[in-house]
Structure 1
Amino acid sequence: MDLIHVNVNVADAEETIEFYEQFGFEESWEFETPDGETQNRYIAADNGVELQLSDTEGENEFEAGSAWDHLAIGVDDIDSVFEEIDHYGVDKEPADQPEAGARTAFVRDPDGRRVELVESLE
């Protein structure tokens, strides 16, 4: 069994794509719902896992709920990535997490979702 994609609702697909392109995601395909109200654009990581970005006309605020916490993205050099990327808020600056064997940081994407940056300490 493989993880294929995760779907997230976005206020502006283009802005969200630009954010995730900073981590190497590339737009892979798209489709529009039959009613023409929702544009679904997919961006893929190097390993093939995709994020489906659903941009519905007129919807720009979303209730996050408490069941979903964050999306984790692996990076080679967390400190340089943290300094270079455009983000929409910082929840936690880079710090070692020896118990997890990683150095991590948390930033926000255009719709306020938490994105964890992870660099292996090994």
Structure 2
Amino acid sequence: MSSLTAHHVGITVSDLDSTLSFYRDVLGLAVVTRFEVGGEAFSTAVGVENATGRFAHLDGGDVRIELVEYDPVGDAHSGATLDQPGATHVGLSVDDVDAVVADLPPHVETLSDPQTTESGTRIVFLRDPEGNLVELLEV
């Protein structure tokens, strides 16, 4: 088997533009590229008949964050809490969790105030506009 390296973490969203605005304008991630994909090969690969997708790739440091809006839109997936099997989140390291949280716009929901775990890592979880969980951690 060839050697594997992480390329991206994908998040399916219902509104690419508003979610992209959050990751770019609130969290400060740079947009690497935007593109659209469709056609038979794409539909077959994703297992969705007549699928098209609008994509945005953001610079997440060592890995890209991929936001994708599909047409047709599937059923909503509830990943309300982290302890549910299949739950996902994106982890982003920051220099100062408390400073980042202090600078968040008032409409950004956090699960709690920043906490220091037993391992000494300072963390906070927040939700993007679609309810996806984002962990900010100070290491």
Alignment match of 1:93 (pick from 113, 123, 126): 113
Seq. identity, %: 28
Per the alignment, residue 10 of structure 2 pairs with 7
CA shift in 2, pair 1:74/1:57, >3 Å:
same
Match of 1:52 among 62, 66, 77: 66
CA contact (8 A) 1:24 1:46 kept: no
The structure with the largest strand share of the pair is: 1
- Structure 1 runs (4+) deviating above 6 angstroms are none
Task: Tell me which amino acid in the other structure corresponds to 1:95.
Answer: Q
Provide structure 1 residue ranges, at least 5 long, that are not aligned to the other structure: none
How far residue 29 of structure 1 moved from its aligned partner, in angstroms, is 1.5
Indicate which of 122, 126, 130 corresponds to 1:107: 126
TM-score, scaled relative to structure 1: 0.80
* Pairing of 1:3-42 with structure 2 (within 5 A): 3-21=6-24, 22-34=26-38, 37-42=52-57
Structure showing greater Rg: 2
| Count of paired positions | 118
Which digits, 9 at most, give the CA deviation of each residue in 1:36-88, with x for residues without a partner?
Answer: 842111111233x1111111246386204531232111111111101212354
Question: What one-letter code is carried by the residue in structure 2 that aligns with 1:19?
Answer: F
Contact preservation (8 Å) 1:24, 1:45: no
**Amino acid of the structure 2 residue aligned with 1:16:** T
Q: What amino acid maps onto 2:113 in structure 1?
A: E
SS in structure 1 of the partner of residue 98 of structure 2? helix
Q: Which residue identity does 1:11 align to in structure 2?
A: S
For the structure 1 residues 45 and 72, does the alpha-carbon distance in structure 2 shift closer, same or farther, using more than 3 Å as the test? Answer: same
Aligned residue number for residue 77 of structure 2:
63
Amino acid in the other structure paired with 2:55: N
Q: Over aligned residues, Cα RMSD in angstroms?
A: 2.3
- The answer to whether the Cα contact below 8 Å between 2:110 and 2:125 also exists between their aligned partners in 1 is yes
Q: What TM-score does the superposition give when structure 2 sets the normalisation length?
A: 0.72
